[in-house]
Every structure is written in C-alpha cells, then in structure tokens.
Chains A and B, each alone.
Chain A
Amino acid sequence: MYKLTLLTLIILVTGCMQDGYQNVGDIPFDASIDDENFKVCNERNIKQYYLRRSSDAPPSYRGEKRALEQAILSEYSFPEAAQENGYLTIRFIVNCEGAPGRFRVEEMDFSYQPKTFDPQITSQLLRLVKNLTDWVPRKRRNTTYDFYQYLTFKIQKGQVIEILP
C-alpha cells in the first residue's frame, strides 16, 4: 500500500512538472523582478478572479470600481501624446490577505499588436496598481484565498480612457 501511494505521488508530481508547462496566465515567482516579501497563501490554489462557487464571497475592491478608478485617475498624469494609443494590461496576484504582488505587464496597440508605451506611462501605471491595497480576497467559509486579477488600461493619446475589466 505504501509503495502504491508513493508511486501515485511520484506520478502526480512529475506529471505536474512536465516540461515546465504551466496553466495559461500562471505567474510563478521570479526572483529577478518579484518582491520576495510578497507571499501567497497557497501556491497551488490561486484561482482566477472569475472562478468561484456560488456560495463564495467574490473577490472585490473596497469601494468597488469607483474607488479603484479614483485611486488611479486622480494620480495618473501624462501630457497628450498622439502616438500613445492602445491597451496596457497589468496581471498580478492578490494574496489571501488582500495584498497584490508578482506584477506582469503586457502592452499592445489597438490592432492587438505588441507595442511599448512611453516608459513614464508604464512605470506610472505599474506604481499606481502596486499601491492598490484595498483588495478583498475570495472567501469561502471564513477562509480567504489567493486569486489572479488583471487590470487593463485603455489609453488614447496618452490618457487613460477606460479601466477594464
């Protein structure tokens, strides 16, 4: 029985490690860019923000979208620039204590092609998203869980015109 259990465990573990292939959107820790003080509560159970049981309290932001918009838009500042158009997406993890970390940035133009925004835009939005500390984690039966979240900024002429999703 012991050998069978051990064999099963080995198969499961090696199966999960095959080729280093991850699930879509996973954000593993990267020592070169991530804050080592940011801890997730369960590395193996970080759910997407939209996945939950109907009985779970959904993840959210205190004050809802309006508070999030206020936190970003009241601080964001960039002069009008005709060439700065597209979407800037920041993906990250919110841990079970509501703290965000492991930020990843994807930038594209309105044709969905990769582009690079002015570094002032990118660094500013990244800083503002890192400062969003009012996240409320997913909750099930008095236990809170880590979750993946993303914010997409629709940018026109250097100005943030919509915050998604």
Chain B
Amino acid sequence: MRERSGYMCAEIFLHIALRRKIFAHMKKKILLLVLVFASWHLYAPPNCEIYKSNTTCYQSCQQAMKAIRYRQGSHQSQRRFEKSIALCPDFAYSYMEKAVPYLKRGLFIEWKAMIDKAVELSPKEYLGYRGWCRLQFLRDYQGAINDIQQLQSLVHYDIGYGQTGDYHLNFALALSYKGLGQLEQARQLMLQHLQSDNYTEGLYDYYHLGVVEYELGNFDQALHYLNRQVEVNDYMSDTYYYMALCNKQLNQREQYAAHLEKAEVYYRSGKTITDNYTEAFDKIYLTDILNEKNNN
C-alpha cells in the first residue's frame, strides 16, 4: 500500500523516533515492531514480475511503481495511478493507493468509491484495511464490524493488524463494538483476543480493556488491567487517569490523588496516547485531568 511512504512509514517512524524511550525499556514492544516490519509485505507494493504474462497489467503495475515515487496525493502521482488503472482496470492496488490521500484529507466520498473498487477486486487483501480506515477516520463502527467480520469469514489465517500497526484487527473489532456502546461484547472480544494463540501484546490493549471494565463498573478488574498496561507501556498519562477514576470509585483517596497527579505530570511531559492522523481511541486530554482535579 502507498502507506509505505506516508501513513505506514510515518507510524513506524513515530514509533521509533518519538517513543524510543519506551522501547529502551520494552523488549516486548521491540518484538511487536519487528512483527510489524515482518508483515511489511502485506503493505508493500506488488511485485510487477508476476504480471509479466499480461502485458497491459504488467505496464499498469509499472505505472503504479512510478506513481509511488512521487509525493502522495500530488498530481504527478495521481495521474500515474490513473494511467495504471486505464491500462489494467482490474489492478486493485492502484485503486487503493489512489484513494489514500482522499482519506487523509477528508474527501471521504471519493475515497470510498475507490477503496470499494479495490475491495471488490481483491477482498481478502483490502477488506481489513477498509474496515480499519472506517474505524479510525470516520468512527464508522458498524462499517468496520461488517468489513472485519466479512474478512474473518473469508480467510482461515491471522487477519493481521490495522494500518497503524498499533491494533490487531480482532482488537479493532472489539473497539468498534465499544464505539457502538456494546461494552460486554467489546470486553468478550478483547479477552478472546488476549487469550488467543500467538497473542502479542499490543501497545494499548490492556489500557482499552481496563477502560471497558471501568465503564462496565468493574473497578477492581479495571485496575488489574490498567496495572498490566503500565507494565507493558508506562508511557501514558491516560492510564493513570483511569486508574485514578477507579480509585475514586473504590474510595481509595490516596491512590486517587497520586494517580491523578501522575496523569498530569505525564501529560505535561508529552507522555500520552497519540495518533498522527486522528484522535486516538479513549484519548484523555489535559482538560479532563484538570477538571477531575478541580471537582474533587
């Protein structure tokens, strides 16, 4: 996918450059990064050599390779994708790549028409991607559920990660149910994913599970998972904020004050859940922390 130069690369870069402090302390996260790189082939440009038996599709692929040398969304790049599609109208990759800048720039009608074509031509390859984008950019929870579940029904292998590499698509499915307010379903799916074979801890998995438990009113269980999150990734103000809320519900006044204070200190030093393109899921802002402090 074109994300190799934009979206995916930026995310990977941010993981490395902006979070290097946590990686120094987090061997498991380094492993996750390696896995993301290992799955690079899922997002990499296609190998044009496999189209050699079909001259026009081979040329189409070559046009797409030319297109990705230009800045994403530039007219030079888009025109080459158009040439690529004209040469081989069944070449799904070019529809998907041509669509990406529309998604990132808020032109969703145009994006959807193009990504639908890519999914129609190559559902196993692009259903998960479309579902993730619907969740991340539009909070289209039902649309994301439909796409991810359709992918699950089509394949018998690991459906992989969302485009940012931060969430497995099984976990994205759970986040979608959470978005619809179906917290118990979200909780079950999160636990199911955590207990699955070959589970690799996501950067934020325990945090979101902790938040779901909090919202379900299971404060002890929420604290359990939020503490696990701190073990996995002690780099988030957001975790301490929810720990404080749990402490408040459990009448643990000292821990409440300490965790809220830590949430503020972390936030002010830039340690918070972030996403370069959209608001992160279950994101907490400084205002939330200060309001909590002022109201208690």
Chain A interfacial positions (CB closer than 8 Å to B): 18, 21-25, 48, 50, 54, 63-67, 87, 89, 91, 106, 108, 110, 112-114, 148, 150, 152, 154, 162, 164-165
Contact = CB atoms under 8 A, between A and B. Distances in A.
Given A21-B79, A50-B276, A54-B17, A66 B106 contact: no
A161 B271 CA distance: 28
Interface string B100-115: 0110111111001100
Interface centre among B108, B143, B286, B288 (most CB of A within 10 A): B108
B277 A50 contact: yes
Contacts of B112: 112
Nearest to A89: B106
Nearest to A107: B109
B18 interface: yes
Interface stretch (B41-49, B132-140, B206-214, B234-242): B132-140
B291 to A, nearest CB: 9
Interface of B: 10, 13-14, 17-18, 71, 73-75, 78-79, 101-102, 104-109, 112-113, 137-140, 143, 276-279, 283, 285-288
Contact of A152 (B101, B106, B143, B288): B106
Task: Decide if the interface of chain B is mainly helix, strand, loop or mixed.
Answer: helix
B104 A23 contact: no
Contacts of B17: 54
The 7 A-B residue pairs whose C-beta atoms are closest, nearest first, are A150-B106, A25-B105, A112-B112, A24-B73, A165-B278, A24-B101, A66-B287
Given A50-B104, A54-B18, A91-B105, A110 B137 contact: no
A15 B5 CA distance: 23
Contacts of B78: 21, 23-24
Contacts of A91: 105-107
B24 to A, nearest CB: 17
Contacts of A150: 105-106
Given A23-B73, A24-B78, A112-B112, A65 B279 contact: yes
22 contacts: A21-B75, A21-B78, A21-B79, A22-B75, A23-B73, A24-B73, A24-B78, A25-B106, A50-B276, A50-B277, A54-B14, A63-B287, A65-B285, A66-B285, A66-B288, A87-B108, A89-B106, A91-B105, A113-B109, A154-B138, A165-B106, A165-B278
A165 B276 CA distance: 10
B269 to A, nearest CB: 16
B279 A164 contact: yes
Interface centre among B79, B101, B113, B287 (most CB of A within 10 A): B287
A91 B102 CA distance: 12
A54 B195 CA distance: 36
Contact of B279 (A18, A148, A154, A165): A165
